[in-house]
Structure 1
Amino acid sequence: MLSRVANSIYWMARYLERADCVARFIDVNTHLMLDLALDQNAAQWYPLIATSGDDEDFNQRYTQADERAVVRFMTFDQKNPNSILQSIFRARENARTVREVIPVEMWEKINEIYHLTQSQSRKRSVADLQDYYREIRQSGHLFTGLMHNTMSRDMGWQFAHMGQMLERADKTARLLDVKYFLLLPHNDVWKDSAYDAVQWGAVLKSVNALEMYRQQFHTINYRDVTQFLLFSKAFPRSVQFCLEDAEAALKTLTNGNGDSKAAREMATLCRTIRTSDTSHIISTGLHEFIDIFQANLNLVDEAIYESYFEN
């Protein structure tokens, strides 16, 4: 497979997953506002910016992190490369260049999401955009279903699946960080309160994890939610599950050869997750752990680029 084609398929899947996950980020605050009966002024919006990694860009161009500014920045800001609008635009451009190697249904779905986003781009409030965010998430499910059910399990599928899983692992970790930033201004240590449980419940809801979590754990608390979203081997949005799927895709691409830089970096990252422990992470700092994880994830992405896309 040409490196150009592989690169486009990889990023097509990553950008669509990114758009889905940004909609989930905003959903965290939406659930909190509903569950805690908060008005718009009481809701905290800056944690979404802080955990997205785009806070420097946001602070340069916006004077305050209220609902209107954060929703615009994360959803429709054309200058924010990680906004939903830009993610979908880039996914569509990548898909357009490889239309001959992806099923027509996948192209049509991406095109449909693109035109939906264009039609909604004048809206500014979460209340007005609830149906849109729901459509983005449903479209993400549908695109994944099309990818799994209509693509041959050849190199193209492996690159798409690897990209999707790496993006999902990153965003699940960042969702845990949202909770960290929500709690930090009020507490010096982790604790379990009714208010805290509602916040953790919002995080679980945002990744469709609440029912699956409750099948394994009886109560919602910070330790078990961290354990579930980082280390569950069964839940398809946990960090460990996503990384093991990405590693399996990479092994297929390399025929099990672990000598490439990409394979070595991926093996190191997966080993770090497999050997980590929830109690140790919480005692030393969840935020610090996630920062290190994301830095290592960037090393994997750079190694994949050098190994497959650079030439």
Structure 2
Amino acid sequence: MLSRTAENLFWMARHIERAENTARILDVAHRSSLLPLDMEGTEAYLWYAPLNITGCAGGYEKKYGLARSDAVTHFMALDADNPSSIYSCLRLARENARSVRGAITSEMWEVINATWLEVNRQSRQMSEARYGDFFEWVKERSHLFRGVTHGTILKDIAFNFIRLGTHLERGDNTARILDVKYHILLPSVADVGGAADYYQWGSLLKSVSAFEAYRKIYRDVISPLRVAELFILRDDMPRSLHACMNEVETALSYINGNSAREARRLAGELHAQLHFGRIEDVFGRGLHEFLTDFLDHIDLLGREIRDAYLSRWDRVPRLDMRQVA
């Protein structure tokens, strides 16, 4: 397969996954904002969380200044100047798909094209009250694209580059969501274990469609240790780091190639760390430190994949999570 074709498939999948994750993050932020705000500046503090998760804080501050719900929502959802916005991600996904029409099925193209046309239309008439429905729509379109992909495309190298992009992006986002909630979201230590803390952990679980899974596995009150275990080590949780690395390692094994030995080594190292890890050891080391190290390795793995397979690296800049330490 030509490296440019592989690159377009890889980034098509990453942009669609990123659009869905941004919709999930904004949906949780809107839910959390419904809690009573009992201190000055709480709104700005709350709305910096989604900006920090996605690495958009710098670009937002230059354009809007202090974080406000309406401005953050527009910037992350429909602002064409933000390369990580839902609008930009779906536009880029469509451009990548158009470049590889011969490598994807007509059904896949129709879903991506229709999604872009609809989001372009909605961007001109969106109101604050309609954002909740918009986020649900974005998630549904992403689910539809993955379903159509699995149901229509040959399980060949093209499929595995799509698989690789999807799960590399998903693992990156899961780590960021968990780290920002655990490390910087609570305004004070006194809130730990309180009603706001419980609500935020519940919202976090809902943001990755894991609330029912948590209840089924643990059947107990929501606790940070168990949420972290679910997000990091459970390979039966579709959005966990372990599950994502299962898919990444399998995709790389199928693609193969002598030039990708270092990428496969890094993927195997990350996978082994998650497969044999214990949550007590993660917390003993420090959850923030563990997640920062994971993000560093994901970034390095992405660079190795670029060097082995892709013709260029159009990676949207992300926040270095060490900056929130």
After TM superposition, the score normalised by the length of structure 1 is 0.91
Separation (CA, whole Å) in 2 of partners of 1:175 and 1:27: 13
Tell me, yes or no, if the aligned pair for 2:48 and 2:67 is still in contact at 8 Å: yes
- Partner deviation per Cα, 1:68-123 (whole Å, 9 max, x = no partner): 22112211222221111111111000000111121111111111111121112145
TM-aligned CA deviation for residue 258 of structure 1: 9.4
Per the alignment, residue 209 of structure 2 pairs with 208
1:290 Cα offset (Å):
1.9
Residue by residue over 1:245-295, the C-alpha shift from the partner in whole angstroms, topping out at 9 and shown as x without a partner, is 11101101117x796222122122223333443233334432332222111
Residue 321 of structure 2 is matched in structure 1 by: none
**In the alignment, which residue of structure 1 is the partner of 2:9?**
9
- TM-superposed deviation, 1:7: 0.7
Check conservation: 1:258, 1:264, Cα contact below 8 A: no
Q: Which residue in 2 is equivalent to 1:18?
A: 18
Secondary structure of 1:260 counterpart: helix
Q: Identify if the C-alpha distance between structure 1 residues 105 and 177 changes in structure 2 by more than 3 Å, giving closer, same or farther.
A: same
Matched, 1:95 2:97: yes
Paired residues in the alignment total 307
Q: Distance in 1 between matches of 2:283 and 2:23?
A: 27
Q: 2:145 aligned to 143, 146, 162, which one?
A: 143
Counterparts of 1:282 and 1:62, CA distance in 2: 37
Which segments of 5 or more consecutive residues in structure 1 lack a partner in the other structure?
Answer: none
For the residue of structure 2 that corresponds to 1:81, the secondary structure is coil
Distance 2:274 2:75 in 1: 32
Q: 1:298 to 1:173 in 2, by over 3 A?
A: same
* Aligned residue number for residue 30 of structure 2: 30
1:291–1:61: structure 2 CA closer, same or farther, 3 Å change rule? farther
Aligned residue for 2:316?
none
Q: Is the 8 A contact 2:20 2:138 kept in 1?
A: yes
> 2:189 is paired with a residue of what secondary structure?
coil
Report the counterpart of residue 254 of structure 1 in structure 2: 256
Residue type of the partner of 2:104? I
**Is 1:129 matched up with 2:131?**
yes
Query: 2:318 maps to what in 1?
Result: none
Contact 2:231 2:240 in 1 (8 A): yes
**1:1-311 equivalence runs, <5 A:** 1-34=1-34, 36=35, 43=43, 44-122=46-124, 126-181=128-183, 183-187=185-189, 191-218=192-219, 219-254=221-256, 260-310=261-311
The percent identity for this pair of structures is 37
Aligned-pair CA distance for 1:56: 2.2
Aligned mates of 1:216, 1:23 — CA distance in 2 = 26
Rounded Cα–Cα distance in structure 2 between residues aligned with 1:115 and 1:16? 14
Output the amino acid matched with 2:8: S
RMSD: 2.2
SS of the residue 2:187 aligns to: coil
> Taking structure 1 as reference, are residues 123 and 173 closer, same or farther at Cα in structure 2, changes over 3 Å only?
farther
CA 48–214 in structure 1, closer or farther in 2 if over 3 Å, else same: same
1:209 to 1:134, Cα distance in 2 relative to 1, 3 A: same
What's the offset of the Cα at 1:57?
2.2
